């Protein structure tokens, strides 16, 4: 099977994005004109660690430690960001040897993991979310919490099995891991993926695939790999395509991990198409503006930086899995 045919474009886009992010970084490790909130900083440490930017990573983690963690609350500010962002920062902190930060964030994620389900839920809520379980499970793997990672993977196995043959795919689950099918119509994007519709949370499926393929490797159980392929089957059923918000590019990461394990051509082709899509979406400066906004419209800084860090991170994972 050939290597990624557009690998050069992928590498250039990743390098361009990483340099754009570094150009935004101040000497104290912060990003210029970005408020001290998790959104602007959650994914950058993982990217900097995976691309070997040790000095910039160290400065950023020091700034995060001073500005996003509250010593009076055991070093953690629980109101900072959603579970996915907390999970990404936990993994990035661990990769950057900031073990105090990764330990605090991992402990917080463990508090929000269902004891009997393995899913993860926001504080004060009982419903578990697919994307949170996938990201949380990956963070647990990175941070050495193997039992919790396995529980999250088991949750994902049940979540896809309970929806076998369903036309729509639901993303939130009750305390018995049954899909929640009743919700306000205005909140549909957060609850369900429907065939043929655009701007949906396809990335949650991709992240589930990544955790399950990793769990199959770590724990040596083929049930996890079968479940990962079942999630890709769901994506095909709903007619997933590399379009819409850039965040759905996580689906390509899932395809890349499946290609790495199975060497099946359809997964390779999905990654190649998605790389082309991401390169086309990248600006001349190297960042990834919100595709739902016009290029002339002002882009919120924290979201722009988060989106760019995530895109560059995904490109790096594509290269690692497919090459």
Do 313 and 46 touch, CB atoms closer than 8 A?
yes
Cα 38 from chain centre:
15
Query: What is the pLDDT, as a whole number, of residue 134?
Result: 98
Query: What is the pLDDT, as a whole number, of residue 175?
Result: 93
* Three-class secondary structure of residue 74 per DSSP: coil
What pLDDT, in 10s, does the model give residues 157-215? 999 999 998 899 999 999 999 999 999 988 998 999 999 887 788 999 999 999 999 99
Helix and strand element counts for the chain (H, E): 13, 4
**Residue ranges of the chain with per-residue pLDDT less than 70:** 1-5, 71-81, 243-245, 247, 294-296
Helix (H) or strand (E) holding 169: strand 169-170
Q: Which residues of 292-301 are buried (b: 16+ CB within 10 A; e: fewer)?
A: eeeeeeebeb
Query: What is the pLDDT, as a whole number, of residue 241?
Result: 79
Helix (H) or strand (E) holding 102: helix 99-111
* Residue ranges of domains in the chain: 115-240
Query: What's the token pair of residue 72?
Result: 């009076």
Q: How far apart are CA 170 and CA 186, in angstroms?
A: 15
Helix (H) or strand (E) holding 205: helix 202-219
- What is each CA distance from 223 to 131, 145, 156, 214, 258, in whole angstroms? 20, 20, 11, 12, 14
What is the pTM for the complete model shown? 0.94
Query: What is the pLDDT, as a whole number, of residue 165?
Result: 87
Query: What's the token pair of residue 137?
Result: 């499970």
What pLDDT, in 10s, does the model give residues 2-16? 556 688 999 999 999
Query: What is the pLDDT, as a whole number, of residue 78?
Result: 44
Query: What is the pLDDT, as a whole number, of residue 58?
Result: 98
Cα 12 from chain centre:
22
């Amino acid at each position: 099977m050939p290597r990624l045919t557009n690998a050069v474009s992928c590498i250039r886009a990743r390098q361009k994005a990483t340099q754009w992010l570094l150009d935004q970084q101040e000497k104290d490790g912060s990003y210029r004109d970005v408020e001290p909130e998790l959104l602007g900083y959650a994914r950058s440490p993982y990217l900097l660690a995976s691309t070997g930017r040790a000095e910039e990573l160290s400065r950023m983690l020091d700034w995060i430690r001073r500005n996003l963690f509250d010593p009076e609350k055991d070093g953690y500010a629980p109101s900072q960001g959603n579970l996915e962002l907390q999970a990404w920062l936990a993994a990035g902190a661990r990769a950057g040897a900031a073990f105090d930060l990764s330990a605090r964030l991992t402990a917080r994620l463990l508090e929000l993991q269902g004891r009997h389900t393995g899913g993860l839920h926001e504080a004060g809520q009982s419903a578990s979310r697919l994307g949170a379980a996938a990201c949380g499970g990956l963070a647990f793997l990175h941070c050495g919490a193997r039992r919790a990672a396995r529980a999250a993977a088991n949750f994902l196995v049940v979540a896809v099995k309970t929806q076998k043959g369903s036309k729509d795919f639901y993303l939130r689950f009750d305390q018995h891991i049954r899909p929640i099918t009743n919700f306000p119509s205005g909140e549909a994007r957060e609850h369900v993926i429907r065939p043929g519709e655009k701007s949906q949370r396809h990335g949650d499926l991709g992240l589930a695939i990544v955790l399950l393929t990793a769990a199959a490797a770590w724990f040596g159980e083929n049930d996890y790999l079968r479940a990962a392929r079942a999630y890709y089957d769901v994506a095909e059923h709903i007619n997933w395509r590399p379009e819409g918000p850039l965040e759905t590019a996580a689906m390509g990461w899932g395809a890349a991990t499946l290609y790495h394990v199975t060497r099946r051509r359809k997964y390779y082709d999905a990654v190649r198409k998605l790389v082309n899509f991401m390169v086309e979406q990248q600006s001349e400066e190297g960042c990834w503006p919100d595709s739902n906004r016009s290029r002339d419209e002002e882009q919120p800084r924290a979201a722009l930086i988060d989106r760019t860090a995530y895109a560059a991170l995904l490109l790096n994972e594509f290269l690692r899995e497919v090459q």
